[in-house]
Chain A
Amino acid sequence: MNRRPEARGGARTRLRGMVRKEFLQILRDPSSIAIAFVMPVVLLFLFGYGVSLDAKDVPLALVADHPDTNTSGLLRAFEHSDYFTPYHYADIQTAMQALRTQQVDGIVWLREDFSRRLLSSADAPIGVIVNGVNANQARITEGYIQGAWQSWLEHYAAAQGRELEAPVMVEPRVWFNAALYSRHFLVPGLIAVIMTLIGALLTSLVIAREWERGTMEALMVTPIRIREILLGKLIPYFILGMGGMLLTVVLARWQFEVPLRGSFLLLLLASALFMLVALGMGLLISIVSKNQFVAGQIAIIVTFLPAFILSGFIFDIGSMPAPVQFITHLVPARYFVSIVQTLFLAGDIWPVLLPNAGALALMAAVFFALVRRRASKRLD
Chain B
Amino acid sequence: MFARIIALTIKELLAVLRDKRSRFVLIGPPIIQLMIFGYAATFDLNDIPLAVYNEDGGAASREFISRFEGSPHFHVIATPDHDAEIAPLIDERRALMVLHLGTHFSADLARGDSASAQIILDGRNSNTAMLALNYARTIVIDFNEAWAARHGGMAAPAHLVMRAWFNPTLSSRWFIIPGIVGLLTLVVTLVVTALSVAREREAGTFDQLLVTPLRPVEILIGKSLPGLLIGLIEGSLIILVAMYWFDIPLRGSVGALYAGLGLFLLSAIGVGLMISSLSITQQQGLLGAFLFLVPAVILSGFATPIENMPRAVQLLTYLDPLRYFMIVLRGVFLEGSSYALLLHQYWPMAVIGLISLTLAGWLFRHRMY
Contact = CB atoms under 8 A, between A and B. Distances in A.
Contacts of B55: none
Interface string A19-46: 0000000000101101100010011001
A176 to B, nearest CB: 4
A209 to B, nearest CB: 6
Given A133-B334, A136-B175, A310-B36, A176 B298 contact: no
Interface in A43-60: 43, 46-47, 49-57
A273 interface: no
21 contacts: A32-B287, A35-B291, A50-B316, A123-B157, A125-B158, A125-B161, A131-B165, A135-B43, A140-B134, A153-B156, A165-B153, A168-B116, A170-B117, A172-B118, A173-B118, A175-B122, A291-B19, A296-B289, A300-B290, A315-B43, A345-B123
Interface in A154-186: 156-157, 162, 164-178, 180-182, 184-185
Given A126-B160, A169-B115, A132 B166 contact: yes
Interface stretch (B89-97, B209-217, B232-240, B354-362): B89-97
A142 interface: yes
A182 B127 contact: yes
Contacts of A328: 40
A316 to B, nearest CB: 5
A200 B271 CA distance: 24
Interface stretch (B1-9, B142-150, B252-260): B142-150
Contacts of A351: 88, 91-92
Interface in A252-302: 289, 291-294, 296-301
Contacts of B172: 134-136
Contacts of B126: 53-54, 174, 177, 180-182, 184-185
A146 B187 contact: no
Given A172-B119, A175-B121, A136 B114 contact: no
A171 B304 contact: no
Nearest to B159: A125
A43 B294 contact: yes
B287 to A, nearest CB: 5
Contacts of A137: 305
A166 B124 contact: no
Interface string B267-309: 0000000000001011110111111011101110001110111
A366 interface: no
A320 interface: yes
Tell me whether chain A's interface is mostly helix, strand or loop, or mixed: helix
Contact of A54 (B44, B118, B308): B308
A160 to B, nearest CB: 9
A209 B283 contact: yes
A296 to B, nearest CB: 4
Given A293-B199, A309-B41, A101 B341 contact: yes
B197 to A, nearest CB: 13
A301 B25 contact: yes
Contacts of A292: 195, 282-283, 286
B125 interface: yes
A100 interface: yes
Contact of A170 (B136, B287, B303): B136
Contacts of B130: 140, 143, 180
A145 interface: yes
Contact of A122 (B151, B155, B174): B155
Contact of A305 (B37, B93, B148, B304): B37
A215 B253 CA distance: 53
B283 A132 contact: no
A185 B305 contact: no
A42 B295 contact: yes
B335 interface: yes
A218 interface: no
A226 B68 CA distance: 60
Given A35-B291, A184-B126, A345-B123, 4 more contacts: A135-B43, A149-B158, A175-B122, A304-B293
A89 to B, nearest CB: 16
Given A125-B161, A177-B123, A319-B44, A165 B154 contact: yes
Which 9 A-B pairs rank lowest in CB-CB distance, beginning with the nearest?
A177-B123, A132-B164, A132-B167, A136-B43, A50-B313, A135-B172, A143-B134, A296-B286, A297-B25
B109 interface: yes
A312 B43 CA distance: 11
Interface string A235-266: 00000000000000000000000000000000
A123 B133 CA distance: 26
Chain B CB count within 10 A is highest, among A129, A184, A305, for: A305
B344 to A, nearest CB: 10
B70 interface: no
A197 interface: yes
B164 A149 contact: no
Given A170-B119, A309-B40, A328-B40, A349 B22 contact: no
Contacts of B171: 135
B352 interface: no
B64 interface: yes
A74 interface: yes
Contact of A164 (B137, B147, B154): B154
B36 A327 contact: yes
Contacts of A345: 123-124
Given A168-B144, A301-B33, A324-B39, A294 B304 contact: no
Chain A CB count within 10 A is highest, among B90, B170, B171, for: B170
A312 B42 CA distance: 11
B363 interface: no
B261 interface: no
A5 interface: no
Nearest to A109: B161
Nearest to B157: A122
A124 B124 contact: no
Nearest to B335: A133
Contacts of B151: 167
Contact of A124 (B157, B183, B309): B157
B121 A172 contact: yes
B40 A346 contact: no
B134 A169 contact: no
A323 B151 CA distance: 47
Interface string B10-42: 000000100101100110010001001101111
A301 B22 CA distance: 13
A99 interface: yes
Contacts of A127: 161, 163
A50 B170 contact: no
Contacts of B195: 292-293, 296
Contacts of B125: 185, 312, 316, 341
